[in-house]
Amino acid sequence: MKVTIIPEKCIACGLCQTYSDNFDYYDNGIVKFVNSDDLQLELPDKDSTVLAVKNCPTKALISH
Protein backbone atom coordinates (compact mmCIF):
# COMPACT_ATOMS: atom_id res chain seq x y z
CA MET A 1 0.00 0.00 0.00
CA LYS A 2 1.19 3.51 -0.78
CA VAL A 3 1.04 5.86 2.23
CA THR A 4 1.36 9.63 2.13
CA ILE A 5 2.15 11.82 5.12
CA ILE A 6 0.70 15.32 5.30
CA PRO A 7 2.88 16.93 7.99
CA GLU A 8 0.74 20.10 8.18
CA LYS A 9 -2.16 18.01 9.51
CA CYS A 10 -0.14 16.09 12.13
CA ILE A 11 -0.81 17.07 15.75
CA ALA A 12 1.94 14.82 17.16
CA CYS A 13 -0.49 12.63 19.10
CA GLY A 14 1.61 9.46 18.70
CA LEU A 15 -1.15 7.05 17.66
CA CYS A 16 0.43 5.98 14.38
CA GLN A 17 3.57 4.71 16.06
CA THR A 18 1.55 2.81 18.65
CA TYR A 19 -0.15 0.94 15.80
CA SER A 20 2.75 0.47 13.40
CA ASP A 21 6.54 0.36 13.55
CA ASN A 22 6.66 1.96 10.07
CA PHE A 23 6.29 5.39 11.67
CA ASP A 24 8.62 7.53 13.73
CA TYR A 25 8.78 11.19 14.72
CA TYR A 26 10.94 14.23 14.16
CA ASP A 27 12.19 16.04 17.26
CA ASN A 28 9.11 18.28 17.15
CA GLY A 29 6.80 15.24 17.30
CA ILE A 30 5.59 15.37 13.71
CA VAL A 31 5.20 11.97 12.04
CA LYS A 32 7.71 10.59 9.55
CA PHE A 33 8.50 7.20 8.11
CA VAL A 34 11.12 5.13 9.88
CA ASN A 35 14.53 5.69 8.26
CA SER A 36 13.15 8.03 5.59
CA ASP A 37 12.34 11.70 5.15
CA ASP A 38 10.12 10.96 2.12
CA LEU A 39 6.48 12.01 2.38
CA GLN A 40 5.24 9.03 0.36
CA LEU A 41 6.34 5.41 0.54
CA GLU A 42 5.15 2.00 -0.53
CA LEU A 43 4.66 0.00 2.68
CA PRO A 44 3.75 -3.64 3.25
CA ASP A 45 -0.01 -4.10 3.38
CA LYS A 46 -0.11 -5.12 7.04
CA ASP A 47 -3.02 -4.76 9.44
CA SER A 48 -0.91 -2.55 11.71
CA THR A 49 -0.25 -0.06 8.92
CA VAL A 50 -3.91 0.00 7.90
CA LEU A 51 -4.91 0.65 11.52
CA ALA A 52 -2.39 3.48 11.84
CA VAL A 53 -3.75 5.20 8.74
CA LYS A 54 -7.42 4.66 9.63
CA ASN A 55 -6.99 5.86 13.22
CA CYS A 56 -5.10 9.07 12.54
CA PRO A 57 -7.43 11.67 14.10
CA THR A 58 -6.44 14.45 11.70
CA LYS A 59 -6.03 12.33 8.54
CA ALA A 60 -2.34 13.23 8.32
CA LEU A 61 -1.84 9.73 6.87
CA ILE A 62 -3.49 8.75 3.60
CA SER A 63 -3.38 5.36 1.89
CA HIS A 64 -3.71 4.93 -1.87
7-43: per-residue pLDDT in tens? 999 999 999 999 999 999 999 999 999 999 999 999 9
The number of CA neighbours under 13 Å toward the Cβ of 52 is 29
Q: What is the amino acid identity at position 47?
A: D
pTM of the model as a whole: 0.94
User: What is the pLDDT, as a whole number, of residue 53?
Assistant: 98
Our measurement of the distance from residue 34's CA atom to the centroid of its chain's CA atoms, rounded to an integer in Å, reads 9
User: What is the pLDDT, as a whole number, of residue 26?
Assistant: 97
